Every structure is written in structure tokens, then in C-alpha cells.
Amino acid sequence: MKLKTKIHLFSTLLMLVILTLTNTGIYFVYGKLAYDTEYNQLKTQSQDLIASLSQMTEKTNPATVLHAYRPPNGAVRILDPTGKLKVESESAEGIRSYHPEIKPGERYSIGEFDNTPILTMREPVIWTDGKVVELQTIQLLSDVKHNLSLLKLILFGVTLIAMIPITISSVALGRIVIQPIDNLIKTMSQSRQTGTYEKIEVPAEGKDEMAQMGHEFNDMMGQLESNFKKQEQFVSNASHELKTPLTVIESYARLLSRRGFDDLSVAKEAVGAILGESIRMKDMIEQMLHLARNQEHVAFKFEETDINSLVEKTLQPMRHAHARDFILEGNGSVVVVTDAEKLRQLLFILLDNARKYSEREIKTTISKNETSISIAVTDYGNGIPKEALPHIFDRFYRVHEDRNRKTGGTGLGLAIAKELADGLGAELNIESSVGVGTTFRIIMPKKQILTDF
């Protein structure tokens, strides 16, 4: 069964049950009130009759008194102590044959006569001869019966009429709830069939759960699409970037096989080039694997880390490997909660770039302000053109001049650096001007700092 039909059936049935229960309640309450009113009226009448009977003398004809007080649609009877009828006056046809069954100790009974409810009251009366007799006042409740059947009819009619708007509103409710879900299903199956990332129409001003669901769905589709495009871009960039060193290797290998065995200098050049490109390719593949692993959200191990000694430990091997001045500024110790290994990796990328793209000393500064601690790596080299800055963290991006220059980069270092910084909860900023130099700054929020300088 469709959800729309389920909602429709459920809400209609629920309203029908509520209406039926309410109407039944009204019917019974009205019935009880009507019987109570009749009872009170009959009681007053029989009290009046008892008062008149008590004033009777030997000469008074009891039938006349009874006749005067008999109810308009019933009878009055006097029964002697043995239960034998003494005198009776009736105003309803055939009522003489009606013998009520009143339980001992009870003052009244409601029975049925001729398919009509009938109320009988009994009262003890002292008769003219001094004996206690029983006065029965009997009243046919035809009006109550008639009113109750009319009420039944009205309530039934009201229920039927009320069901019309209820049915219409439950159908409308079903539509309101189902429409967005229907749209969602259609859009999803269309996306699956066409392989595209379709979005659904959501009213801009809509704030309800359905609109929220639509917005969430569209956001999710947008994210999926952008991730897919990024993956596609990555794969095409990666294959393109790997093709260049492979072409170089292939052409040098051909040269080697053609002339390398005769000419030692050609052989040396070819082997050198093949080795260089192989190393570059190996680096690139390692970096690509690193990026892919980072995307799988490799767990970061956060622990208390002394930033000064971490930076010093990173600078030391750089000083050994390259004939360059690596200066550290900032004193005292700052303990930060971070992943030391990942932070070292990030620093290493920045220091290696500073070395590659400059000739002079490289300065690393640790500083702190109200809200954060930062590690800045400054070089006095080429600088990065303004128009290149927005792309500097993109995968495989290299500044045009460096692409042509043989610095041997892959364009993946800063992309990895950015992902490492994100994982560490740090910001990675850049300031650069062409011909002056570049500063990369890792900014860690203060909540990660444990001790002051």
C-alpha cells in the first residue's frame, strides 16, 4: 500500500473513530438528561397526587382524584397490600395490560411497552381505611424515544457531512507530505539512470522539515558532485603528470639503445636523466599515495608536544642536507596538543619549498598572541605572483616559471601541507611578494596550547 493511501486511510479512520465516540457520548448524555427530567416531572406529579389522596374522605371517589392527576400519556393505579388492583385511571391506550417489574426496595423502573420506554414510580399511600396501599404512576416516554431517534439521525448525518471535509483534508495532507518524497524518489532515480547529480526544487522561503530535507538532499548532491569532479580532475592530472617523466624516460632509453653503447657521454646523460625522472616519479607516486591515504582520514594522534624542540628537530637534518642557514627565532617552550609527526611533515614541506625557491637563509619564527600560536617559515627568494596565490594549494599546481624551471617539483607538496594543516586543526596562511620572498604561517588555535612562553 502506498504511503499516501496509508496516511489518507489512517487520518480518515482516526477522525471517524473520534467523531463516533463523541457522538455516542452526546447521545448517551442527552438520553440520561431526558430520562432524569421525565423522572423528576413524574415524581412531582405523584407527590401532588399523594397530597390530594391524603385529603380524601370515605365519600370521595378515588377514581376521580386519579383521573385528575394521571399523566398525559400513561396511568395511575392503586394496589392493595396483596398487589391486587384497587382502582386505575389511564390515558394511554392498552396500558392496562402493562405490569411493571419493580425490584424490591426500588422506587421506580424503566421498562418497555409497545416498543416504547415506559417509566413507573411507586409510592406508599395511607388509604382512607387506614391501610397502606401502593400508588403506581406510569408514564410512556414516547417524546424521549422520538427525540432520541431524531438525535441519532442528526448525529449520524453530522458524522457523514463531517467526513467530507475530513476526507478532502486527509487527501490534501497525504499530497503535502508525499509530494516532496515523490520528487526526491524521481530525482534520485533520474540521477541513477543518467549518472548526473540532479537537485530538487525547494521553495527558497520554505522552513519546514520537508524544505529542510530538500536543502539537505541538494547540499549532499552538490558535495557528491564536487567530490566526483575533484576525483576526476585528480586522476586526469595524475596521469598527465606521470606521462611527462615517462616520455622523458622513454626517449632517453631509446637514445641509450641507439647510441649509448658507442658514446659514453650520451650514455651518462641518458642514465642521469632516466634516474632523475624515475626519482621524481617515485616522489610523485609517494605523494599521491599520501594524499589518497589522507582522504581516508588516517587517524591523527594528538599528544602534548614541545613546539620549540619539534621545530629544532626538523631544522637539524635540513641543515645537514643543504648548505643553507636555517635560523630559529622564538625562545622558551610552548607545549601544544598536536600530532607531532604530522606537524613535522608539514614543516618539512614548507622548509623544503623555501629552500627550493630561494638562495638565501631561511627563517623559522615561533610566536604567540591572544588567541593562537604560529610557526612562520620565511624565505627571501622568488616570491609567488599575486594571481597564483589562490591556486597555490591546488593539486599539481605549479607557478608557471617553476614549471619551466628544472626545480623538480610535483605540485603536490602544498596540497598535502593544506590537508595536514586541516587535520591538525590549524590554519595555513601565505604572504608573498615577487622578488622579496615568501612566508608560510601555521596558526594553531589557543585551545591547543598548554603552557606559555
* Binds ligand ADP (CB under 6 A): choice among 409, 420, 442, 444: 409
Task: Based on the shown chain and the rule CB under 6 A, indicate whether residue 180 belongs to the binding site for ligand ADP.
Answer: no
- Residue 414 as a binder of ligand ADP (CB under 6 A): the answer is yes
Backbone angles phi, psi at 375, to 5 degrees: -120, 115
Cβ proximity to ligand ADP: between 238 and 354 the closer is 354
Q: Is 66 in the site for ligand ADP (CB under 6 A)?
A: no
E strand spans, 225-370 = 303-306, 326-329, 335-338, 362-368
CA gap 193, 307 in Å, rounded = 53
Q: Tell me: does residue 260 bind ligand ADP (CB under 6 A).
A: no
Does 398 interact with ligand ADP (rule: CB under 6 A)? yes
Find the radius of gyration of the CA atoms of the chain. Answer: 51
| DSSP label at residue 448 | G
Determine, following the binding rule CB under 6 A, whether residue 379 of this chain makes contact with ligand ADP: yes
Using CB under 6 A as the binding rule, whether residue 382 contacts ligand ADP is answered as yes
Residues 6 or more apart in contact with residue 302 via CB below 8 angstroms: 337, 338, 339
> Which one-letter amino acid corresponds to residue 323?
A
Instruction: Say which residues have a Cβ less than 8 Å from residue 27's Cβ, sequence separation at least 6.
Output: 148, 151, 152, 155
263-283: burial string, b at 16+ Cβ within 10 Å, e else: eeebbeebeebbebbeebbee
CA distance 265 to 3: 81
402 binds ligand ADP (CB under 6 A): yes
Secondary structure tally for the chain: helices H, strands E = 9, 12
Q: Which three cell numbers stand for residue 90?
A: 389511564
Region of 172-180, 243-251, 314-322, 411-419 interacting with ligand ADP (CB under 6 A)? 411-419
Q: Which stretch binds ligand ADP (CB under 6 A): 14-22, 87-95, 298-306, 403-411?
A: 403-411
Verify binding: residue 381, ligand ADP, rule CB under 6 A. Answer: yes
The residue (of 150 and 436) whose beta carbon lies closer to ligand ADP is 436
Nearer CB in complex with ligand ADP: 76/415: 415
113 lies in the site for ligand ADP, by CB under 6 A: no
CA 398/CA 395 separation, integer angstroms? 9
Task: Tell me, by CB under 6 A, how many residues bind ligand ADP.
Answer: 20
State in angstroms the smallest separation of the CB of 383 from ligand ADP. 6
Of 334 and 354, which has the nearer Cβ to ligand ADP?
354
Q: Is 89 in the site for ligand ADP (CB under 6 A)?
A: no
What's the CA gap between 285 and 249, in Å, rounded?
Answer: 16
Min separation Cβ 357 and ligand ADP, Å: 3
Task: Specify the stretch interacting with ligand ADP by CB under 6 A; choose among 53-61, 100-108, 149-157, 390-398.
Answer: 390-398
Interface residues with ligand ADP (CB under 6 A)?
353-354, 357, 379, 381-382, 384, 392, 397-399, 402, 409-415, 438
